[in-house]
């Protein structure tokens, strides 16, 4: 078994994920895994970074596929005895002009952004090593979507005692409410992506609390963040940040020094803790 520290970035064959892998290859003292749901796209991206003189490693990972997540977990356990850095970056967003029915957009978006990310956490958080760092890439849109929720929902999502099961029930209810076309009446904002990212931010707050309760001595730090508005296939060419600039906050959180005890359980953008 290797004693080399190991970092994994989900959905990193392009966009912000690829830029996070690039920065970690330069700054993280260990093995850095680019992961992609499609091995061909992943290998092409590895070759791109190799041309820049970097040496990322590759493992397949589709966060919608529990078997794929478990295969990565077993590989990491066997080869490294665990994991030091996990960046949950993989995500999807329908374009504004997309005519797919809203209920379908809600189901598909929540499936990857919330349920897929949660499944990765469920499988990989137990193998995080002491002083591990976990970064869940959310979005500022989670904050604006929260502001668009009913007072009752806002209170639930801001609660310091909400459980993961309760959050899963709420995310499931959103999808069901869109199918019945009652989501606005039930207090939800009209954004599937926004609700999925509320889920990611609240999940991060819950997971950080559980780490405090169950593994305090392990000094693991877990945060949600927004990369900013970044020029990728998701956000388009008008966005203000380059992918490398978008990677800065996630990488800062991934490389928090072992002496740090904060931020933890926070929502961070531009390396600054934001109110939730």
Given the residues 33, 80, 131, 193, select the one marked as catalytic: 193
Closest CA to 254 of 129, 137, 87: 87
**Does position 230 bind ligand NAP by CB under 6 A?**
yes
Q: Does 105 bind ligand NAP (CB under 6 A)?
A: no
Q: Which residues contact 194 (CB under 8 A, 6 or more apart)?
A: 139, 141, 142, 144, 145, 148
Euclidean distance between CA atoms 196 and 145, whole angstroms: 9
Beta partners for residue 57, in sequence order: 33
**Is 193 assigned a catalytic role?**
yes
Judged by CB under 6 A, which of 13, 191, 201, 266 binds ligand NAP? 13
Number of residues that bind ligand NAP (CB under 6 A): 33
Tokens 């405090």 — which residue? 212
Under the binding rule (CB under 6 A), the answer on residue 14 touching ligand NAP is yes
Residue 73 touching ligand NAP (CB under 6 A) = no
Contact between 225 and 267 under an 8 Å Cβ cutoff? The reply is yes
At 140, list the tokens.
Answer: 């500022």
- Tell which one of 87, 121, 135, 137 touches ligand NAP (CB under 6 A): 137
Question: How far is the C-alpha of 165 from the C-alpha of 154, rounded, in Å?
Answer: 17
Among 75, 229, 252, 276, binds ligand NAP (CB under 6 A): 229
Q: What secondary structure does DSSP assign to 151-217, as a single string? A: HHHHHHHH-SS--HHHHHHHHHHHHHHHHTT-TTTTT--S-HHHHHHHHHHHHHHHHHHHHHHH-GG
Tell me how far apart the alpha carbons of residues 27 and 64 are, in angstroms, rounded to a whole number: 29
108 binds ligand NAP (CB under 6 A): no
Residue 204 touching ligand NAP (CB under 6 A): no
Residue 214 CB, nearest approach to ligand NAP (Å): 27
Question: Would you give the binding string for ligand NAP spanning residues 159-178, x where CB under 6 A is met?
Answer: --------------------
Q: How far is CA 1 from CA 57, 60, 125, 142, 220, in A?
A: 17, 20, 19, 40, 22
Task: Kindly state the smallest distance separating residue 148's Cβ from ligand NAP, in Å.
Answer: 17
Place of tokens 């989900």: 10
CA distance 213 to 116: 24
- Decide whether 137 or 221 has the Cβ nearer to ligand NAP: 137
Q: Which of residues 31-60 bind ligand NAP (CB under 6 A)?
A: 36-38, 41
The site map against ligand NAP for 74-93 (x = CB under 6 A) is ---------------xxxxx
Q: Which of 5, 17, 132, 189 binds ligand NAP (CB under 6 A)?
A: 17
Q: Which residues bind ligand NAP (CB under 6 A)?
A: 10-11, 13-17, 36-38, 41, 61-64, 89-93, 112, 116, 137, 139, 226-227, 229-230, 232-235, 239
Q: Would you name the residues annotated as active-site residues?
A: 193
């Amino acid at each position: 078994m290797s004693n080399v520290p190991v970092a994994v970035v989900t959905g990193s064959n392009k966009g912000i994920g690829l830029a996070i892998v690039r920065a970690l290859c330069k700054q993280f003292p260990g093995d850095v895994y680019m992961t992609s749901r499609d091995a061909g796209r992943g290998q092409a991206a590895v070759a791109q970074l190799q041309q820049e003189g970097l040496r990322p490693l590759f493992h397949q990972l589709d966060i919608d596929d529990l078997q794929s997540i478990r295969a990565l977990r077993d590989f990491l356990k066997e080869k490294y005895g665990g994991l030091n850095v996990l960046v949950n970056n993989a995500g999807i967003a329908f374009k504004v002009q997309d005519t797919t029915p809203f209920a379908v957009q809600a189901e598909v978006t929540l499936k990857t952004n919330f349920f897929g990310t949660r499944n990765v956490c469920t499988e990989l958080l137990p193998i995080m090593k002491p002083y591990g760092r976990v970064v869940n890439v959310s979005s500022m849109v989670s904050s604006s979507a929260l502001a668009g929720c009913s007072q009752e929902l806002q209170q639930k999502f801001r609660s310091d005692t909400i459980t993961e099961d309760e959050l899963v029930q709420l995310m499931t209810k959103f999808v069901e409410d869109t199918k019945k076309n009652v989501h606005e009446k039930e207090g939800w904002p009209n954004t599937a992506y926004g609700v999925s990212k509320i889920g990611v931010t609240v999940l991060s707050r819950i997971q950080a609390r559980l780490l405090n309760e169950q593994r305090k001595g392990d000094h693991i730090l877990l945060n949600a963040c927004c990369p900013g508005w970044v020029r990728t296939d998701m956000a388009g060419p008008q966005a203000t940040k380059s992918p490398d600039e978008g990677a800065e906050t996630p990488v800062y959180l991934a490389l928090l020094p072992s002496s740090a005890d904060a931020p933890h359980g926070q929502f961070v953008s531009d390396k600054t803790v934001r109110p939730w």
